């Protein structure tokens, strides 16, 4: 299944590139026609007729392709109907719009996530990060969550989180996605692939130092579920923060992102299955 999935992604990438190449060739052809036309205007009037026909055909072709082509963002692979995930959202623009004047309201309206007690800086970071990951299935899987600013971070209920206003931005992004990652496993069970994750965890072990140690738990509270739960959140976190250092909970300094150099391929592929392609 994984190989088929990868092949499909690869072939789609190849297809996109082929279409790009086709479009480029078409642009060059149109440009060449334009140059020829400029030279012809001075004298040969009868030559206009076939050229006009060619232009008409080119225009008609362009219009037909334009209207029947995929509606995805230019330059990005289409993520909608070809994704196997049943909750795939439509493609949003890659670049966030200008910061809304009321960020808290915008986050609630756009992503269905309520953020209580956060300052403007952290609302801005949350807006940017949620927008960034909204081209995946992530938002669909965590919509309805309430996040309350706090002195530390944890999931407190099915769709409630306490989250500290960390800095710098990279650490805040990691913590935000980590806590929301717990929501997927606990509250979007139908799409979480929990059993498959248990197998991945048994095979590859914890994906980060935090997943391996669960260092924030008292030792007597660290059981299989706690390790698997933290590993799941970490699997999601570093898939959606591929340039970030592994630094959750900061209980063991920071390590390189676990997915660098094709690390933890089973975790990576499962995250891709849950969330869809990213970035
Ligand atoms: Zn956690």
Name residue, tokens 């059981």: 223
User: 231 alpha carbon to ligand 1 midpoint, in Å?
Assistant: 8
C-beta of residue 88 within 8 angstroms of C-beta of residue 275: no
User: 172 alpha carbon to ligand 1 midpoint, in Å?
Assistant: 14
pLDDT of 247 reads 92
User: 165 alpha carbon to ligand 1 midpoint, in Å?
Assistant: 16
Q: Is the pLDDT of residue 37 over 80?
A: no
C-beta of residue 234 within 8 angstroms of C-beta of residue 254: no
Alpha helices, DSSP H only, in 69-193? 103-111, 120-133, 138-142, 169-187
User: 92 alpha carbon to ligand 1 midpoint, in Å?
Assistant: 28
User: 233 alpha carbon to ligand 1 midpoint, in Å?
Assistant: 6
Region 130-135 average pLDDT: 96
Among the residue ranges 9-23, 192-206, 246-260, the one predicted with the least confidence is: 9-23
Provide the pLDDT confidence category of residue 54 given band limits of 50, 70 and 90: low
User: 139 alpha carbon to ligand 1 midpoint, in Å?
Assistant: 18
User: 110 alpha carbon to ligand 1 midpoint, in Å?
Assistant: 25
pLDDT, the chain, mean: 77
Region 41-64 average pLDDT: 48
User: 108 alpha carbon to ligand 1 midpoint, in Å?
Assistant: 23
Q: Is the pLDDT of residue 76 over 50?
A: no
- Using one digit for the tens of pLDDT, what is the confidence trace for 198-220? 999 999 999 999 999 999 999 99
Ion ligand 1: residues, CB within 5 A, are: 230, 233
Q: Is the pLDDT of residue 12 over 90?
A: no
Provide the pLDDT confidence category of residue 144 given band limits of 50, 70 and 90: very high
pLDDT above 70 coverage of the chain, percent: 65
pLDDT of 83 reads 38
The answer to whether the pTM exceeds 0.85 is: no
Q: Is the pLDDT of residue 6 over 50?
A: no
User: 182 alpha carbon to ligand 1 midpoint, in Å?
Assistant: 7
Give the E-state strand segments of the chain in sequence order. 114-116, 146-150, 154-157, 160-164
User: 228 alpha carbon to ligand 1 midpoint, in Å?
Assistant: 10
Region 183-190 average pLDDT: 95
User: 179 alpha carbon to ligand 1 midpoint, in Å?
Assistant: 6
Name residue, tokens 């990576």: 268
CA distance linking residue 2 with residue 87, whole number of Å: 19
- Residue 59's φ and ψ, nearest 5 degrees, are -60, -45
- Using one digit for the tens of pLDDT, what is the confidence trace for 217-251? 999 999 999 999 999 999 999 999 999 999 988 77
CA distance linking residue 56 with residue 60, whole number of Å: 6
CA distance linking residue 97 with residue 133, whole number of Å: 14
Region 12-33 average pLDDT: 36
């Amino acid at each position: 299944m994984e190989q088929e999935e990868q092949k499909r992604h690869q072939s789609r990438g190849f297809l996109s590139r082929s279409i790009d190449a086709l479009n480029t060739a078409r642009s060059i052809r149109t440009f060449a026609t334009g140059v020829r036309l400029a030279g012809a205007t001075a004298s040969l009037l009868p030559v206009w007729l076939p050229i006009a026909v060619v232009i008409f055909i080119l225009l008609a072709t362009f219009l037909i392709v334009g209207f029947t082509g995929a509606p995805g963002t230019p330059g990005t692979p289409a993520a909608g109907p070809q994704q196997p995930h049943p909750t795939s959202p439509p493609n949003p623009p890659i670049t966030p719009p200008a910061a809304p004047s009321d960020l808290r309201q915008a986050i609630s309206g756009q992503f269905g996530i309520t953020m209580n007690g956060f300052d403007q800086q952290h609302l801005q970071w949350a807006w940017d990060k949620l927008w960034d990951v909204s081209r995946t299935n992530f938002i669909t899987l965590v919509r309805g969550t309430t996040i309350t600013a706090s002195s530390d971070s944890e999931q407190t209920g099915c769709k409630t989180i306490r989250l500290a206003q960390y800095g710098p931005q990279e650490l805040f992004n990691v913590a935000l996605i980590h806590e929301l990652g717990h929501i997927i496993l606990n509250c979007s069970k139908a799409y979480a692939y929990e059993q498959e994750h248990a197998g991945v965890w048994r095979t590859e072990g914890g994906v980060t130092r935090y997943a391996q140690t669960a260092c924030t738990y008292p030792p007597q509270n660290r059981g299989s579920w706690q390790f698997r739960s933290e590993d799941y959140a970490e699997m999601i976190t570093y898939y959606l923060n591929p340039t970030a250092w592994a630094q959750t909970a900061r209980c063991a300094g920071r390590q390189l992102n676990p997915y660098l150099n094709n690390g933890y391929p089973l975790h990576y592929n499962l995250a891709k299955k849950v969330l869809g392609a990213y970035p």
